[in-house]
A = this chain, B = another copy of it.
Amino acid sequence: MASDGFQPLDEKLLVEYLKATPSLAAKLGNQFDKLEIKEIGDGNLNFVYIVSSPSGSVVIKQALPYVRLIGESWPMTKERAYFEATTLQEQARLCPDHVPEVYHFDRKMCLIGMRYIEPPHIILRKGLISGIEYPLLAEHISEFMARTLFYTSLLYLTTTDHKSAVAKYCGNVELCRLTEQVVFSDPYKVSEYNRCTTPYLDADAEAVREDNILKLEIAELKSKFCERAQALIHGDLHTSSVMVTKNSTQVIDPEFGFYGPMGFDVGAFIGNLILAYFAQDGHADKGADRELYKEWILKTISDTWTLFYAKFTALWDKHKDGPGEAYLPEIYNNPDLQVAGEEKIYGRSSP
């Protein structure tokens, strides 16, 4: 074990760890003779074990001090486990239906024990590739975004509580820098980690690199990402951070969580659906042209936004006399203001 108390677990050490940790042992009914342990290696950054006994299951996630996908050549703070656990706990408090419960967090070991999201849940991206419709996806994801973003914003929090929450996440700088690089920088220059379908998309990639107007817009969005502490965002809300069945939607992997602009979560999710839409032609075959499925994706994009807007503003209405300090009731709660607000957003109606 390293002097900082950190030790990467293999299966044998994992069992010892579970036996010695009452909160996790209890979830397994303290039965260790028939344990099944499966390492599910599709994460980019971490080791993730599913541990099952005849009376229960847990997921154990451990961060290592580098990016697993690439190896020890790309170091990455294992402190990300702290930000993941902290964000998971906060999001589970605000939206328990769509976030797995954290049973145990060990900061020194960078280890989280959490609820196992059981089959038939699969990663949403795989479902989109297989052409499966999820009729409740827009309803659920909009609920997750509305609740986690509203309740951590100044529409609900005092500026005192908001500033202290912002400060707690300022340390998540390495993960933020990874986003700055892979979302706001690499796509706009030649970079060793860029990948596109060569040679077919080379010209398109070059066109992006040479679109100065686009790049100026991106610079403004990057500054907003780095500067605007609006709400606790998931920070990586693509379709591989969501697990689904027809009836259930679970949002996982918030190690990029910090106080940033709300639009980054909403945009990431919708942007990934747009990518999935354009990818469908590549998945189509004789038996299934995917045209109806593309319609469903478009409807899900539109429903996600419409439902998010409705749920978010409903929370705002519900708490308009609450603790939030962005719009003080003494100044803003009067009947004319809603009209003024709508005119401002939608333009004045013609006389």
Contacts and interface: CB of A to CB of B under 8 A. Distances in A.
Interface of A: 154, 159-160, 162-164, 166-167, 170-171, 173, 176-177, 180, 185, 188-190, 212-213, 215-216, 219, 222-223, 226-230, 325-328, 330-332, 334, 336-337, 339-341, 343-344
A230 B220 CA distance: 12
Contacts of A343: 213
A326 B223 contact: yes
13 contacts: A159-B177, A159-B180, A162-B226, A185-B331, A189-B328, A213-B340, A215-B331, A216-B340, A216-B344, A219-B327, A223-B230, A227-B228, A229-B229
Contacts of A331: 185, 188-189, 215
Contacts of A185: 328, 331
A167 B159 contact: no
Contact of A326 (B212, B215, B219): B219
Contacts of A166: 170
Given A154-B226, A173-B163, A173-B164, A212 B336 contact: yes
State the oligomeric state as a number of copies: 2
Given A189-B328, A227-B229, A212 B163 contact: no
Contacts of A228: 227-229
Nearest to A209: B331
Nearest to A163: B173
Given A163-B170, A219-B326, A219-B332, A227 B230 contact: yes
A334 B210 CA distance: 10
Contact of A341 (B190, B216, B227, B332): B216
B159 A176 contact: yes
A160 B189 contact: no
Given A154-B226, A212-B336, A215-B332, 5 more contacts: A154-B227, A162-B226, A180-B325, A185-B331, A216-B344
A188 B336 CA distance: 15
Nearest to A212: B340
A119 B219 CA distance: 46
A334 B166 CA distance: 36
A330 B188 CA distance: 9
Given A166-B170, A227-B154, A160 B188 contact: no
Contacts of A164: 170, 173
A229 B212 CA distance: 26
A190 B330 CA distance: 9
Contacts of A212: 334, 336-337, 339-341
